[in-house]
Amino acid sequence: MVKRMALACLLLATLSLLPVQATAPESWDLEWEIDLGDGYITTHPIIDDDTVYVRTSGFWTGEERPQVFAFSTDGEERWNRTSATTVQHDMSPLLLLPSGTGACGSWPDLVVVGWADGTVEVLRADNGTSVWNRTSTIQGWGITGAIVPDGDHLVVPTRTGMMRLCASNGELDFEVELGLGWRNGISVTNDAFWQGDESGSVWKVSREGNASLVAELGGSIRHTPIQTPSGVFVHVQRGATSTIHLLNATQGTAVTVHQGGASPAMPVSNGRFVVTGDSSSLSTFDCERNCSLVSKHPTITNGEMTWDGGQELWYPVNQPNGNWAVSTINESGNITSTFNFSTPHDGYGTAAPSFGENRMAMGNDAGVLMMYVQERTITTDAEPYDWVPIGGALLLIFLLSIGAYATSVNRIDWGWRLVLLVLLVSTLAITPDLSSQWSQSLTENNTEGNSDVWNDSWPESWKGTQVVIIEIDGEQQVAGGLVGYETALDLTLAAANEIPLEVEVESTELGSYVVSINGEEGSGWEYFLDGERAGQSSDRQSVSDSIVLHWRLVRR
């Protein structure tokens, strides 16, 4: 009897510890698929009412050439357009521009196509006939980045820079030379356009077409710079790694917030949180807190990503037999669950899916356009239950029961062994929180009433605010008058933005720690709060509203 009970407990505990695979809250059924022939689908299709638009891409030889297709949502081809002159990969996503009127004329519903031979071609959405076209400079490639609408104009990332065209007739507003571009989109703000290039430079172009260099980060920027509450967010590709930077839009300074994996995807934002992808993980950043890292999920994604209108982010997993992954990102920016969405044509892919009413269109390097329909609407958005804590607790209870049984049959040595094992596992589980609380209390006790760190040369207005000193070899740089930052890391990044200095931060299991400031690594960086040495990683160290945070470079 005892043996059976023990076996049952063990089975229950083991099952409860198995990894939880989240299930899709929606049910998508494949309605139809169409093989588009040679070439890949490398950019997302577009669903508009009863029409879906898609383009093919590839390295073309012989008579084959890339095409743009329009299909009805039932899968019937409405029109297609072939480029006779482009032979390189067409990576510029299609743009659907609704009809409108502006200062330079009116236009019907349009499909805007950027071709790899440098041509911008504008097609009527209803029949695919060409409305106008305009060429741009070619250096190996032509247009590979995303064209964006700007009122009655289109802004085009060309191979060598940027141009702004009238949407109705293609009349040139301005053209400006920047660095060489590849898949580099344009971010539109009220006063300017932002673009990165293949040299890692970030450019700001005024509405009059005057370009200024904001930052030189090295590497390659292959996405649209993202405007966030904390600055301009860019993910820079660098050989086998990548780095994520936050630019101060007014001062043109850059802070390194994270190091990522190889071949970055195109990051997306939902306002507060920015999501990046690369060949090692999907990561979320809270850009109301200096774009600090919130959460990571291991995966390989190197192309487009898209929100499905809610909290779910869809992205292609770029590997053999790769499918699409769907990660749920909650209100805190944490990736709470991920499920895989498989299709009959899984494989390498970089194109995000596209969503219409109860419909989803997707394609990958297999070159097959697939249309899915949603059979039932979303019912609940409840987060999956996390069985790990209850499973762990059951396992510990089970071990303790075995220990108690061993003791009852005079195997006291085994009783002690099991009790100690349970104690060790429990202590391991609580140590991170315990250590954090312990360090917090030590720091608070040590910093009470310490006022001798104030420097009389500082402005009076800094009193009662947050002040940061960054000291390299005895030379101090100070930023003060900062308010509202809750952790030492947030405060540091804000100060670095203001001074300005570049900060490199690395995330570890024990917290984030500052690797370098202004490229200086030394033997490490240590920090003091009101003159007292801090005891935990800066992202876990809370700071008061009136504090002096002192970073010092250690050299030995």
Partner 1 sequence: MFQAFGVHGPELTPFADMVIDVLLVALAFALLVTAPRTSRHDVYLLATFVAAVTALRVLLQPLPNVQPVTVAALLVGAQLGARRGVAFAVLVTLLSNLLIGDGWWTLFQAIGWGAVAVIGSQLNLGTADKFRSGQLYVAAVCSAFVFDFIASLSIVTSGMTLSDFAVYLAHGLPFDVLHALGNLTFAVWFGHFVFRALESIDSLEELEQSVVEDYVVEG
Maximum pairwise Cα distance, the chain: 94
Among 169, 281, 446, 450, binds partner 1 (CB under 8 A): 446
Enter the tokens of residue 438. 């312990």
378 vs 429, which CB is nearer to partner 1? Answer: 429
Enter the tokens of residue 534. 């801090």
DSSP string, 268-310: EE-SSEEEEE-SSEEEEEETTTTTEEEEEEE----S--EE-SS
Determine if 434 is a binding residue for partner 1 (CB under 8 A).
yes
Determine if 182 is a binding residue for partner 1 (CB under 8 A).
no
Strands 511-517 and 503-508 come out as antiparallel
Among 427, 455, 476, 544, binds partner 1 (CB under 8 A): 427
Which of the stretches 90-98, 335-343, 438-446, 476-484 binds partner 1 when contact is defined by CB under 8 A? 438-446
Among 421, 450, 453, 454, binds partner 1 (CB under 8 A): 421
CA atoms within 13 A on the CB side of 313: 29
463 vs 533, which CB is nearer to partner 1? Answer: 533
Q: What is the dihedral sign for C-alpha 214, 219, 225, 226?
A: negative
- For the segment 519-548, give every residue that binds partner 1 (CB under 8 A): 521-527, 532-538
Among 127, 151, 212, 438, binds partner 1 (CB under 8 A): 438
> 3-class secondary structure for 502-547?
CEEEEEECCEEEEEEECCECCCEEEEEECCEECCCCCCCCECCCCE
Determine if 373 is a binding residue for partner 1 (CB under 8 A).
no
Which of the stretches 69-77, 160-168, 410-418, 455-463 binds partner 1 when contact is defined by CB under 8 A? 410-418
Determine if 444 is a binding residue for partner 1 (CB under 8 A).
no
Q: For residue 281, which of 325, 227, 238, 249 has the smallest C-alpha distance?
A: 325
Helix (H, G, I), strand (E, B) or coil at 121: strand
DSSP string, 408-440: HTT-HHHHHHHHHHHHHHHHHHHHHHHHHHHHH
204 vs 258, which CB is nearer to partner 1? Answer: 258
Which of the stretches 226-234, 284-292, 360-368, 413-421 binds partner 1 when contact is defined by CB under 8 A? 413-421
Determine if 173 is a binding residue for partner 1 (CB under 8 A).
no
Determine if 452 is a binding residue for partner 1 (CB under 8 A).
no
61 vs 508, which CB is nearer to partner 1? Answer: 508
Which of the stretches 40-48, 164-172, 228-236, 514-522 binds partner 1 when contact is defined by CB under 8 A? 514-522
Determine if 513 is a binding residue for partner 1 (CB under 8 A).
yes
Burial class (CB in 10 A: 0-12, 13-18, 19+), 199: middle
- What's the closest the beta carbon of residue 371 comes to partner 1, in angstroms? 45
85 beta partners: none
Enter the tokens of residue 113. 């196509």
Which of the stretches 1-9, 60-68, 185-193, 416-424 binds partner 1 when contact is defined by CB under 8 A? 416-424
In one letter, which amino acid is 104?
A: C
Binding site for partner 1 (CB under 8 A): 413, 416-417, 420-421, 423-424, 427-428, 431-432, 434-435, 438-439, 442, 446, 508-511, 513-515, 521-527, 532-538, 552, 554, 556
